[in-house]
Structures are given as C-alpha cells and as structure tokens.
C-alpha cells in the first residue's frame, strides 16, 4: 500500500486516478478536507477495493501513527498543503501550521515507523515530498531557469512555508537516513482544478459573462505543466529516483499571465462562441498582488536525463484539453461551487 496525503486536492486526486489506472496497489488517501479538498474528484473510484480514504489532519500525530501501524505502507506521497498564494498573504498562520508543522509531524511519524521496518523493507521505503518551484524566488527576464542547485529565496508566506518543508525533508534524509525524494514543480493546470486558481477561474468567469481579472500588467511569466505530466514525473521519481535527491519538474512552457488568459479566450471563442464579441472583451487589469514574483522558469533536464521523463502535452494541447474538460463537466463545476460534494461526502462516509 501507498499513502497519499492531500489526495482530495487538485494534483493529489489526479495522481490517485492516474496511479490506479496503472497499478493494482492499494492507496490510502489521507486528507483533512479543507475548502480545497474535494472527494467528489474521486467518485469514479466508489466501490473500488484498492482505494481507501481517511479524513485526517497530517498534523494529528496519534492518527497518523495509528494509520502506519494498521496499514504498513511502502511509500508516502506527500501532497497535502495549503497551496494558494493569495490566501497565504491574508492568513499565513494556516500555511505554517499545515506546510511546516504538518510536514514535520508526518516526517516524525514516518521516521519512527521506518526505523522499525525490517532491513529489506527499510531500504525500499520512500517518502516523496511534492513541492513547488516557488521556493526559488523570482527570475529576471534573461536569467537561467531554476535548477536543483539554485539557492532558495522564497518571497510569499506560501513559498516560505514550502521551502521550510523542503528543508525538513532534506534534513530527515541527511540526519536520519530516511529515504526521501523531493520534486519541485512549476504551475500545474488540468481537470479538477479548484476555481480560485487562474486557469479554471478564467474559464468559468468567461462562461458566466464575468470580468477576467489580471494582476498588474499581466506580464508575470510562469512555466505551465499539464497535471498528468506532473503525475507521470512523480511516478517515475517514486520508482527510480535516488533517495536524498531533488528533481525539478517543468514543461518548458513559459507564458505570461496575459498570454494564458488570451489563449483561453481564443479557445472558448472557438468552442463556445458568444452571441457578440470575444471573451477577450471581458479581460480587466486589477491591482497587482503584493510581492508578486515576476518570472518562474524550470530547468527539468535532470529528470529528463536521469529518469527519461518527458512531458506528453505541449501547452497548446494541454490547455485545449483543459477547456474541453470544464465544458464537459458542468456537474463537477456546480458541485464545487455549491459545496454540493459535502452532501455527497456525508452520504458516502456518514460525514466522517
């Protein structure tokens, strides 16, 4: 069995669906179900004996210890986090609690469990920590992309809390020998993305005839990766990554925020044309986010070279699939917006 923390979130749920499409290994999803956790993402696994779910906080040591004892996992894939930069500016405390204290608690519980494993199982065990490129800070226009040796320089409470968690993971390898792996990935997009983030927000606002807000001048550059390519990278790193190493994951798709929004408008103009005009008419520029990083870019050559990973989607193919997914899944959208999945959860798990 593997444990997946935060498996009801955007990337975690995509990972579980991808993983179980390729493996018969059992998966235990440990998720606190914050506003961002949506178990409805995994409703296609209802009745699948390989999938298990526990609503729990990674910072709850007693519960995590009991889960280790009961299930004896061979690996932990740690996705659980507070993940939204804007929220971290308004409520940084929750980010420290989950991303730093929660990761620490999970590492401690893992270390104790792992120390007690017999020799072979101990060597094969893995703790894979899913992190972000935002820990490296910001780049100027001509700077080389972030590599695994770029010094950490986080600028938001979110990235600082993720940087702290990366350091703890690193320390648990160096100090205790825990077989850890860390992935630092660029911005993901794709199905099941909570509509507070740029791409789903723009798609859904556009369809609702609402304004499409762009921070500042819209010239902030991000590298974009289709979520299933991130999931493939995580599977490869879990299977063949070297304990103690970190791997940067990115799609070589640098785009300005304005480019992304205009591309979404153009795809929607084609797939679901408005009665008059273009979705681009709904674009509006709003005051920039404080401390907004100007550019992120990822050098993923280590992962490509050492583990032969390559993204399967270009930005153009991935973004077209994403828009199509939101158009084809109005029920998921309605559920997320109404919190309707909470009712489903109560039916499914008796509110636990």
Q: Tell me if 249 sits within 8 A of 303, measured CB to CB.
A: yes
Q: Is 136 in the site for ligand NAD (CB under 6 A)?
A: no
CA atoms within a 13 Å half-sphere pointing along the CA-CB vector of 221: 15
Give me the least distance between CB of 204 and ligand NAD, in Å please. Answer: 16
CA–CA separation, 175 vs 265, rounded Å?
Answer: 50
Q: Which is nearer to ligand NAD, 113 or 279 (CB)?
A: 113
Structure tokens at 36: 């961002």
Q: Is 236 in the site for ligand NAD (CB under 6 A)?
A: no
Q: Is 37 in the site for ligand NAD (CB under 6 A)?
A: yes
The residue range among 30-38, 119-127, 279-287, 306-314 that interacts with ligand NAD, by the rule CB under 6 A, is: 30-38
Q: DSSP readout, 274-330?
A: -SSS-GGGGEEEEPPPTT---B--B--HHHHHHH----S--HHHHHHHHHHHHHH-H
Give me the least distance between CB of 74 and ligand NAD, in Å please. Answer: 20
With CB under 6 A as the contact rule, the residue among 33, 100, 199, 203 that binds ligand NAD is 33
Which residue carries 């993720």 as its tokens? 162
Q: Tell me if 28 sits within 8 A of 64, measured CB to CB.
A: no
Structure tokens at 286: 């709003």
Q: Is 106 in the site for ligand NAD (CB under 6 A)?
A: no
Q: Is 300 in the site for ligand NAD (CB under 6 A)?
A: no
Tell me the backbone φ, ψ of residue 77, rounded to 5 degrees. -110, 110
With CB under 6 A as the contact rule, the residue among 18, 26, 34, 245 that binds ligand NAD is 34
Give me the least distance between CB of 43 and ligand NAD, in Å please. Answer: 14
Structure tokens at 185: 């990935």
- Rg of the chain, C-alpha, whole Å: 20
Q: Is 79 in the site for ligand NAD (CB under 6 A)?
A: yes
Residues 184-203 that bind ligand NAD (CB under 6 A): 185, 187-188, 194
**Active site annotation includes 158:** yes
**Active site annotation includes 293:** no
Q: Is 257 in the site for ligand NAD (CB under 6 A)?
A: no
3-class DSSP assignment, residue 59: coil
**Active site annotation includes 51:** no
CA–CA separation, 339 vs 319, rounded Å?
Answer: 26
**Catalytic position from the list 31, 57, 82, 134:** 134
Q: Which is nearer to ligand NAD, 57 or 114 (CB)?
A: 57
Sites of contact with ligand NAD (CB under 6 A): 5-6, 8-12, 31-34, 36-37, 57-59, 79-83, 98, 102, 130-132, 162, 185, 187-188, 194
Residues that are catalytic: 133-134, 158
């Amino acid at each position: 069995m593997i444990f997946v923390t935060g498996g009801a979130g955007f990337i975690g749920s995509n990972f579980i669906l991808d993983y179980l499409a390729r493996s018969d290994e059992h998966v235990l999803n440990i998720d606190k179900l914050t506003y961002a956790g949506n178990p409805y993402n995994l409703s296609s696994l209802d009745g699948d004996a390989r999938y298990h779910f526990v609503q729990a906080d990674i910072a709850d040591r007693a519960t995590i210890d009991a889960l280790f004892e009961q299930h004896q996992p061979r690996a932990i894939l740690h996705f659980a986090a507070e993940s939204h930069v804007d929220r971290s500016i308004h409520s940084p405390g929750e980010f420290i609690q989950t991303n730093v204290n929660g990761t620490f608690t999970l590492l401690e519980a893992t270390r104790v469990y792992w120390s007690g494993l017999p020799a072979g199982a101990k060597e094969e065990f893995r703790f894979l920590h899913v992190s972000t490129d935002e820990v490296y800070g910001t780049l100027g226009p001509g700077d080389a992309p972030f590599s695994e040796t770029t010094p950490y320089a986080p600028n938001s409470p979110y990235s600082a809390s993720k940087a702290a968690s990366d350091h703890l993971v690193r320390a648990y390898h160096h100090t205790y020998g825990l077989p850890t792996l860390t992935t630092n990935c660029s911005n993901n997009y794709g199905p099941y993305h909570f509509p507070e983030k740029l791409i789903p927000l723009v798609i859904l606002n556009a369809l609702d005839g609402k304004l499409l807000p762009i921070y500042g001048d819209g010239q902030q550059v991000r590298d974009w990766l289709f979520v299933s390519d991130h999931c493939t990278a995580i599977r490869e790193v879990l299977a063949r990554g070297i304990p103690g190493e970190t791997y940067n994951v990115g799609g070589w798709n640098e785009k300005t925020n304005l480019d992304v929004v205009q591309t979404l408008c153009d795809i929607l103009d084609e797939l679901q044309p408005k009665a008059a005009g273009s979705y681009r008419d709904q674009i509006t520029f709003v005051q920039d986010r404080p401390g907004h990083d100007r550019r992120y870019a990822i050098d993923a050559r280590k992962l490509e070279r050492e583990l032969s990973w390559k993204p399967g989607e270009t930005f153009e193919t991935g973004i077209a699939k994403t828009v199509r997914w939101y158009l084809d899944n109005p029920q998921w959208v309605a559920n997320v917006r109404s919190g309707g999945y909470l009712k489903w959860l109560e039916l499914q798990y008796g509110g636990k």
